[in-house]
Structures are given as C-alpha cells and as structure tokens.
Amino acid sequence: MKSEEADIIFNMEEVQQFVQLLGDQNPIYQSIKTAKTNGFQSIPLPPTMPMIAYKRIKTPWQLQHPVIHRKQHCTNYHTMYINQTYHAFVKLEDQYQRKQFTFIQQSLYLYDQDRILCFKGTSQLITGGLI
C-alpha cells in the first residue's frame, strides 16, 4: 500500500528550528554564504530532517493506539537543500500480526525533480492495528 505523492519544500526557518531543537551549532545551517564556502550549493538539510515530511503526507491507512516506535533507519542518497521541491510518498512495506499487536514497516521516499532518490527513511512500529 502506498500514499499519494506530495510535493515538499523545506525552508530556512524549518531548518533553523530543527537544528535548534537538536542543539546543532554547525554554521552551514545558518547562512547560505557559509554553506557555499563549505562546498554546498545552498543550505543543506540536516541528515534526518526529511523524516518530518511524514507530517505532510496523508496515508491511506491509520495506526491504532498504542503506537510504539521500534526502530528507524535513514539513508541519504544525495544532499538535499532548502527551497527545492521534492516528491515524497510513504509506502507500507510489511505488516504482520502477533497476538493483539500489528507490526509494520513503512518507508518514506523523497525524490528530487529529476526523479532521483535522495532519501529513504524506514520506521518499524508496533500498533494496535491498522484501519
């Protein structure tokens, strides 16, 4: 099962809020000039930041309570930047029942405008079921 595709743009304010929450003081996230001086074309996204795209994508399934986060794995294939459009979707890749709980694995995919995969984030969850 797969969600509809959504266009996602991360902006400077979101990056600054994200790195502030993490306590990351790296200056490449604060200034385009500093980012370019360090070899980037613009301000890059922090490596795990694309995972917040989950909140912008409506999935055709709902997780029933309780929801327990077991594991998460993120792979960055290409550097992602602010003010770029990315195409994103979530795919339910595995699910099975054990006693009264449903174990699921879902992945978030983000592609650039040339349809090149930039990011994949996989989450393993335990839920009370799927609707």
Beta bridge partners of 9: 85
**Residue pLDDT, tens place only, 5-30:** 999 999 999 999 999 999 999 999 99
Kindly report the CATH number assigned to the domain that includes residue 109.
3.10.129.10
* Rounded distance between C-alpha atoms, residue 35 and residue 116, angstroms: 23
**Residue pLDDT, tens place only, 33-85:** 999 999 999 999 999 999 999 999 999 999 999 999 999 999 999 999 999 99
- Does 93 map to a domain? yes
| 17-20 contact pairs (CB < 8 A, 24+) | 18/46, 18/49, 18/52, 19/46
- The model's pTM is 0.91
pLDDT, the chain, mean: 96
Token pair 């370019």 in the structure block, residue = 36
Q: Which domain holds residue 120?
A: 45-130
Q: Which pLDDT value is given to residue 126?
A: 97
Q: What count of other Cβ atoms lies within 10 Å of the Cβ of residue 104? A: 21
- Does 88 map to a domain? yes
- Does 111 map to a domain? yes
Q: Quick one: tokens of 127?
A: 């839920």
- Does 106 map to a domain? yes
82-91: burial string, b at 16+ Cβ within 10 Å, e else: beeebebbbe
Domain count, the chain: 1
Helical (H) or strand (E) element with 90: strand 85-98
